[in-house]
Structure 1
């Protein structure tokens, strides 16, 4: 068993796992261009005044990634190049709503045009808006399903994904 001693300015050991999870949430939202999730998590962090802890963990995660991917001398060059290219305004995730055509995606899926679906997804740099539009379209279609269909669909999805808990069927607008 390894015993560690906490330094005065160090993040308390019991808070490390929680902070890592929060940093990972922030990184995932940034990586996938999910502006809403990124902004929400950032707002929570700022409201709780724990920016220092999360910044420390994000830096640790980035340093570990660089250490594992590059030899030390190459890693330093990569970091210097990234620092030179850093945008002036880093306050948000870059998104592009204009390239997300959810209606075209739904039509392509319905028609079974696999190549078009793949092309649409590949051509959309930020899939957050594309998936959001797809979810909105599905929600609009739910009231049109015959009685009991939704239960069958959700039961099949649970079987496929290993979930067994029963959740009562929700009707749109409720």
Structure 2
């Protein structure tokens, strides 16, 4: 059995899971092109001086991904190619805004064109951006609702959410 010793700058064992969660949150925001969530999480990490922990975990996740996806000699070639073409501005999240048309989605929903909605969602690689645009459209429409309508809608959504969660499935009859 090998004895291990915790180094002074090593992340304590009890904080590893929290740091993994933070790293995963940052990666998800980056992967889905959510610049606001990415910036928010990054600002939080920087404010809490968790750069070392999260950087270590991000590198560990990347190394595991490369190890599982490629043979060792190919994995090294892939990493070298990535290093050569690293962007100079690394603060931006890649988003394909041309493919995500929230306005087209709102129009298709308004027209009741189910096929157009399905095609737009299926054809959008970055659905997070599409849904973000839809959320922005809803926020812009809320002030146009008659007084009390937004509250009724919120109450109905709460009833639906809590109703499903608290519903007990009926027993099936033989």
TM-score range, shorter chain: 0.7 to 0.9
Shift of 1:100: 4.1
Equivalent residues, number: 162
SS of the aligned residue for 1:163 comes to helix
Shift of 1:149: 5.3
Alpha-carbon contact 1:97-1:129 (below 8 Å) kept:
yes
Alpha-carbon contact 2:108-2:117 (below 8 Å) kept:
yes
- 2:93 aligns with 93
What is the CA–CA distance in structure 1 between the aligned matches of 2:150 and 2:63, rounded to whole Å? Answer: 53
User: Alignment partner for residue 155 of structure 1, among 138, 152, 159?
Assistant: 159
What is the CA–CA distance in structure 2 between the aligned matches of 1:98 and 1:75, rounded to whole Å? Answer: 32
Alpha-carbon contact 1:108-1:114 (below 8 Å) kept:
yes
1:156–1:56 Cα change, 3 Å: same
Question: How does the TM-score come out when normalised to structure 1?
Answer: 0.75
What is the CA–CA distance in structure 2 between the aligned matches of 1:98 and 1:125, rounded to whole Å? Answer: 11
Which structure 1 residue ranges, 5 or more long, are not aligned?
165-174
Alpha-carbon contact 1:32-1:126 (below 8 Å) kept:
yes
Shift of 1:152: 3.3
Runs of 4+ in 1 over 6 A off after TM superposition: none
Q: How does 1:46-85 map to 2 (within 5 A)?
A: 46-85=46-85
What is the CA–CA distance in structure 2 between the aligned matches of 1:146 and 1:130, rounded to whole Å? Answer: 22
Shift of 1:80: 1.6
Shift of 1:163: 3.1
What is the CA–CA distance in structure 2 between the aligned matches of 1:8 and 1:89, rounded to whole Å? Answer: 33
Question: How does the TM-score come out when normalised to structure 2?
Answer: 0.75
What is the CA–CA distance in structure 2 between the aligned matches of 1:34 and 1:60, rounded to whole Å? Answer: 22
Alpha-carbon contact 1:23-1:54 (below 8 Å) kept:
yes
Give deviations 1:12-67, integer Å, cap 9, x for gaps: 11221111111111001101100011011111112222211111110001111111
- 2:17 aligns with 17
